[in-house]
Structure 1
Amino acid sequence: MNETGQLYLCGTPIGNLGDITYRAVEMLRAADVIAAEDTRHTRGLLAHYDIHTPMVSYHEHNKEEKGAELIARMQAGETVVCVSDAGLPGIADPGGDLARRAVAAGIPVTPLPGANAALSALICAGLPLDGFAFVGFLPRKDKKRRELLSRVAAYPETLIFYEAPHRLRETLAVLAEILGAERRACAARELTKRFEEFRRMTLGELCAHYRENEPRGEFVLIVAGADEDAPYADAAAPQMSLAEHYAAHIAAGCGKKEAMRRTAQDLGISRRDVYQALLAEA
């Protein structure tokens, strides 16, 4: 009888193909099979490093069937390396399900550490690093999304979210609404790629920026945790009206146009909305 095989969870580049370890490349070559979230995507990485190991498709929609097959192969003595499209398997992808199955079956599970978008964005965001909570992708349904955000709104830890470009505006709007437009944040995109960008500002300012600029690339949103000393974190505290925001900026020495721009950023709305609201109150 063959000895039990092994499962390796392999970190792959999140952008730059050079961001993979020597050990990962060696194991990808030595494995009996590579379980890939998207074989077409992974084929490019394997071709870059001249790796010819067979692949099987393993993703969210076939994890039940393929997971059982992969466990059987490892029980027969084979070595399986699981990879996601980018980053570490199990972080916002089905790799974690395969790991749980392997643990339950008594199969050794070993990490092949590598790039991770969440931590890469976190360490460059300029926000507190002494504690953080990974939230990942928010639920698609508005009710569940709001329930989750209401629960994490009081967390003192820095929050980490993933988001696709076509949903970024909607997500930023609900983050600003529930967590507070003044909450400090960083939108990181195209990590380790040519057009890598870190935009560090408040949630309200991010809303305003991406309302006027088309979001491009996959995003990691890093949001500061609740701060008891910050007025926006106290849900019971009285909220400043639009006119009060505007007046405060005027009092600070801003011209009318600049005061409207900053008020729009504070509240996560357009300058046109600010102008019309002030006009209605005049």
Structure 2
Amino acid sequence: MVDKPDRKRGLGRGLSALMADVAETEAVAAKGPAAAEQMIPIERISPNPEQPRKRFEKGDLDDLAASIREKGVIQPLIVRARDDGSFEIVAGERRWRAAQLAQLHELPVIVRDFTDVEVLEVAIIENIQRADLNAIEEAAGYRQLMDKFGHTQEKMAEALGKSRSHIANLLRLLNLPELVIDMVRDGELSAGHARALIPAQDPLKLARQIVKGGLSVRATEALVKKEASAGTETETKARPSSVKDEKDADTKALEGDLSASVGMKVRIDHKPGQEGGQLTVQYKSLDELDTLCRMLSGG
């Protein structure tokens, strides 16, 4: 007998049973008559158009197709029925694609009743669980779970067996320029390179240098520090030496009030006679940064 998934993990209607796609298909099949396995013609099965995973490596599909030719599809796909008599894949698109390469005429499936929201959630979770997912794809999956379903980092960490710091670090990769993100997605840059580029003033410029020179992550970190040092020196030279940064009592008091409100050191740089200025919040840990992000986003 297969144990039921723990509903306290908050992923709705036993969706945790589908997280690993193949490994836990039996748990889905054990849920009564609606979960009975059946054979369906492959032409009546189509992928979910909202599937977050858009890239499937040809080499991996070829290997899986060779295995399917020899042993068949061992684990059924999870699908849901459409009104026109066709079926939409909920979990198992990779096996469906490989089965087409293997020229199979029908596939074993388990038909389940899922809403559009649940189908998307299962697809995202299935992709996050994949071992070959790159850092950007994984981060995008986390972001979708947060934006579409209101999952917190803590909730995802518990449900997916990841550390919260792992999830937080990956989410920060999405703040990089789109062209740098594409480099990570295409394998030109590793996740380690991308993390080192997050504080850079010009991540794209440095990313191109890294790819061109084949630099290591450690060399990338040194490059970012060098860029930061050069920027500080330029700013110092541009500032007239005769100008002295003196703050009035009101500004200092406001700094103290804001620091107490956010629980972090706040600095206000407001030049006399000007409307604009700069407000800096200093955080000491990733947890403090997460707290600040939630405050700013209204979470």
- State the TM-score, normalizing by the size of structure 2: 0.29
Question: Larger % of helix: which?
Answer: 2
- The structure that has the greater radius of gyration is 2
The structure with higher relative contact order (CA 8 Å, sep 6+) is: 1
TM-score by length of 1: 0.30
